[in-house]
Amino acid sequence: MIALQQAVFNKCNFLLVKTSPLLDIQQGLRELTNTKKVIVVSVNNECKELLFLCEKNFMGDAQIEAVDLFTNGDIKNTLSFFLRKRKRPIVLGEAAEYLYEPNASILKAGAFKLISEKFQLTKLAVNTHLYSASHLMTDFPGRIFQVDALDPDSKQLKSLLPNGKANILTRNYPLKPEELKKKLKLTDGGEKYVIGFSSQKKKQLAVCSLATKTQ
C-alpha cells in the first residue's frame, strides 16, 4: 500500500483511499502516511466504509470526521476532531434519567471523550458505549432513551411491560439479547426497550422509552 501511495504522489498531490469499515483506524494511519483526514461513513446508523484522504508531504495531525447518511437524502456531519486531542481520561458515571447511544460512525471514530464533553454526558463504563445524563439533549447524534425503571423486580417489570413485549439491547453485558429475552420471558416488539449494560459498579437492567428529540 505504501509503495502504491508513493507512486500516486509522483503523479498528483492527493490520494483518497476507500477501505472496509472493519479496518482499525490506527492501523490505517500507520500504513498510509501523509493522511490528512479520515472520514467514517455510516448509512442509517450502520458503518459502511472508511475514507483516508492523503496529501503529499502532509505531516500534521489527522482529522477524524464522522458522517451519517440517511436514505431520505439527509447528510449529517456529526462530529470532527483531531486525533491527538482525543486522548484524555473519560468521565465515568452512573445511569441517570436519560441514556444516550451514539451513532455507529461516532463509535467507530472513537470519539468517546468528545461526545461526553460536547453534550455534558458521563460514560457508564470504559467498555460500555452508553452515556447518561439527567438532561435531554435533543440534538444528540444517536438514540436517546428515557429511563422508566432501573433494575426492576419481576412485579415492576410486568407492570411496565403488560403485554410481555420489548426491544432487547445489551451493551457490555454477560447475556446476549436472545438470552436476556428468554430469561425475562419476553417477546420482541412494542414501544419499550429493555437494556442490559454494565456500569462502572455493577451489571444493570433499564426499562426505557425512546425520548422525543423535538421536546
Task: Report how far residue 112's alpha carbon sits from residue 108's, in angstroms, rounded to the nearest whole number.
Answer: 10
Q: Where are the extended beta strands (E) located within 22-134?
A: 35-43, 46-55, 63-69, 75-82, 98-102, 122-125, 128-133
- Cα–Cα separations (whole angstroms), residue 125 to 94, 109, 116, 167, 202: 8, 18, 12, 22, 10
Q: Are 102 and 82 within one domain?
A: no
Per-residue pLDDT tens digits for 14-50: 999 999 999 999 999 998 989 999 999 999 889 999 9
User: What range defines the domain where residue 112 resides?
Assistant: 98-210
Number of compact structural domains in the chain = 2
Q: Are 106 and 161 within one domain?
A: yes
Percent pLDDT > 90 in the chain is 75
Percent pLDDT > 70 in the chain is 94
Per-residue pLDDT tens digits for 167-210: 999 999 999 999 999 999 999 999 999 999 999 999 999 999 99
Sequence-separated (6 or more) residues with CB below 8 Å from residue 141: 66, 68, 76, 78, 79, 102, 103, 106
Q: Is residue 215 part of a domain?
A: no
Q: Are 109 and 206 within one domain?
A: yes
Q: Are 103 and 202 within one domain?
A: yes
This prediction has a pTM of 0.87
Q: Is residue 93 part of a domain?
A: no
Q: Where are the extended beta strands (E) located within 151-202?
A: 165-171, 187-198
pLDDT of residue 189: 93
